[in-house]
Structure 1
Amino acid sequence: MKPKQQPSEPPRPRTDLGVEVSANRCPYCHEGVEAAESLACQGCLARHHAPCWREGGERCAACGHDAALVDARRAPGSFPAHALNSIFFGFTLFVAMPLVLWLKLAHGIDRIGPVPALGLPFGLLLLGSWLTFALNFKRTPPQRRRVLLALIVGATLLILAGLIVASLP
């Protein structure tokens, strides 16, 4: 048996592999994840956006584990982002309808024509939708962003078309 030869230099890790690794990238959408908005897989500790975790079937996109670590800063009673969105959208709805009724009863909005009577509640709802989308832009995964944007733009165009048709003689 031959004796092993000692290398002249100790081995060094290769740095020219061209692989980029980030501990803060969601394995589902491949976007950056901030600690405040993340869930971590219990199996491999990969961070996910909360919407990505739900969209991926409540499983880790990296290893398939179905349990997430609970962040100690988030108490079980704290509001998730989607609940706040619902509250904001509901608030917009409940502000729009009484405002329209008040304008109708107190100021006779019908004298102006059907366009303001129709446009005001839908305009306020669209404003709430756009604000909700803008406020949650960074928290929303890119796939869902495109869908939400398409829905909101479609609703905006549909309502504008309805208002144009309603204003025709």
Structure 2
Amino acid sequence: MSVQADEKRIKRLITIVSIVIPVAVAALFGIKIPDVEPLRFLPPIYATINGLTAVLLVFAVWAIKNKNRKLHNRLINVCIGLSLGFLLMYIAYHMTSDSTVFGGEGWIKPVYYFILISHIVLSILVIPMVLRTYAAAYLGDWKKHRKMSKWTFPVWLYVAVTGVVVYLMISPYYV
């Protein structure tokens, strides 16, 4: 298969995955599994996964700036795996538990909702960003990979960090 055919196939797959994941999460969010014990232990675990992802992303950038491509690749692969693990736990939690309402009042409430909404929107946008950046490296297009990484890294880092912040802000209101 030619490089162009590979690129076209990968782009198509990224587009499909980038649409299917948010649609599936939204659809599954509304489904509650009856007679199953709520998985209330998951939010601190997936918040920790977000924190670990953020730390590893910073180390991945450090690794590549120090010309350690092998370590960089491994760290990015771990970050993608952690993100997938987060996604599965997030879906499992919301399929077994009711959503928690933020109970803060005053100035903190709009701050919380700003962080939450920006986190959600960017978590949807970061999916194709990460996959396209990863695909550029996979295909050996280093110029494109570096160019895309300059946008992907800060967005992915923001999503990971704000995932922890959202958890810390809402955790007092879990039932």
Higher relative contact order (CA 8 A, sep 6+): 2
TM-score (norm 2): 0.37
Please identify the structure whose Cα radius of gyration is greater: 1
Which structure has greater helix proportion? Answer: 2
TM-score (norm 1): 0.38
